[in-house]
Amino acid sequence: MATKQTEKCSFKSKYGDSWITPAQYIIERLCEKKAESEKVHLPVEFWNVPKWDNYYKQNLRKVYSLLKHYSDRAILNALNSKEMSNRYSIFTPFAEDIIKREQKILDTAKSASRVDINRNTLNSKPRQVSKSNALSKLKELDE
């Protein structure tokens, strides 16, 4: 956990005064969902509480394995989706299908925003420069 935002620690923790990695942020969201289903309040730095410590560490390893295949944004979008509203595990085949769908959406949006222009197909001509500009007058003086 970092005290300032870095490329690696890009999310602000809701349960501490630090910046955390995407995997840690995803685990926080999972723990929030589990706490909601159990009707329990998560304390500040809940990962230090013995009840949540084991759950946090086990799921952290699993999230790192998911992040090898999917982006953090796709996993978070899946967690926030309507289909996952009453579920708190993203390690099921059902959840992985939603994550795959969200990843496809993000990939198509990324590729749609990037448009390659082939300059050879454009009917363009060089710009015509008039002879009566300041530079041409200076060149005439030099000659």
Distance CA 15, CA 7 (A): 20
Does the pLDDT at position 115 exceed 70? no
Better pLDDT: 55 or 122 = 55
pLDDT tens-digit profile of 20-30? 888 888 888 88
Cβ atoms of 29 and 76 closer than 8 Å: yes
Provide the mean pLDDT of the chain: 82
Distance CA 94, CA 81 (A): 12
Q: What is the pLDDT of residue 113?
A: 64
pLDDT band at 136 (very low <50, low <70, confident <90, very high): confident
Does the pLDDT at position 78 exceed 80? yes
Q: What is the pLDDT of residue 2?
A: 63
pLDDT tens-digit profile of 46-77? 888 888 888 888 888 888 888 999 988 889 88
Exposed, middle or buried, 110 (CB in 10 Å: 0-12/13-18/19+)?
Answer: exposed
Exposed, middle or buried, 116 (CB in 10 Å: 0-12/13-18/19+)?
Answer: exposed
Better pLDDT: 70 or 133 = 70
pLDDT band at 135 (very low <50, low <70, confident <90, very high): confident
Is pTM, for the whole model, over 0.85?
no
pLDDT band at 127 (very low <50, low <70, confident <90, very high): confident
Amino acid, res. 87:
R
